[in-house]
Structure 1
Amino acid sequence: MFADQLTQEQRQVVFDLAANLAAADNDISEEEVQYLKDFSDAYGIEYDLDKGDLNIDKALSVLDSKKARVITLQELIKLSYKDGHFGKEEQDKVLLLAQKMGLNNTEFLMRIEAWVRQGFDWVFEGEQMLGEDD
Structure 2
Amino acid sequence: MFANRLTQEQRQAVLDMAANLASADNEVSEEELQYLTDFSTAFGLEFQLDNPDISIDDLVVVFDTRQSKIIALQELIKLSYKDGHFGREEQDKVFAIAQKFGLNNPELIMRIEKWVRSGFDWIYEGEEMLSE
Task: Name the TM-score, length of structure 1 as normaliser.
Answer: 0.96
User: Displacement, 1:47?
Assistant: 3.3
What value does the CA root-mean-square deviation take over the aligned residues? Answer: 0.8
Q: Which residue of 2 aligns with 1:46?
A: 46
Deviates more, 1:48-57 or 1:6-15: 48-57
Which residue is equivalent to 1:97?
97
The equivalent of 2:18 in structure 1 is 18
Q: Is the 8 A contact 1:20 1:52 kept in 2?
A: no
Deviation at 1:25, TM superposition (A): 0.4
Range that drifts further, 49-58 or 14-23: 49-58
The CA distance in 1 between the partners of 2:95 and 2:103, in whole Å, is 9
User: Residue 116 of structure 1 corresponds to which residue in structure 2?
Assistant: 116
The match for 1:34 is 34
Give ranges in structure 2 of 5+ residues lacking alignment: none
The percent identity for this pair of structures is 66
- Corresponding pairs, count: 132
Which consecutive segments of 4 or more residues in structure 1 shift more than 6 A? none
Superposed CA offset, 1:65-100 (max 9, x none) = 111100000000000000000000000110010001
**Structure 1 unaligned blocks of 5 or more:** none
Residue 45 of structure 1 aligns to a residue in which SS?
A: coil
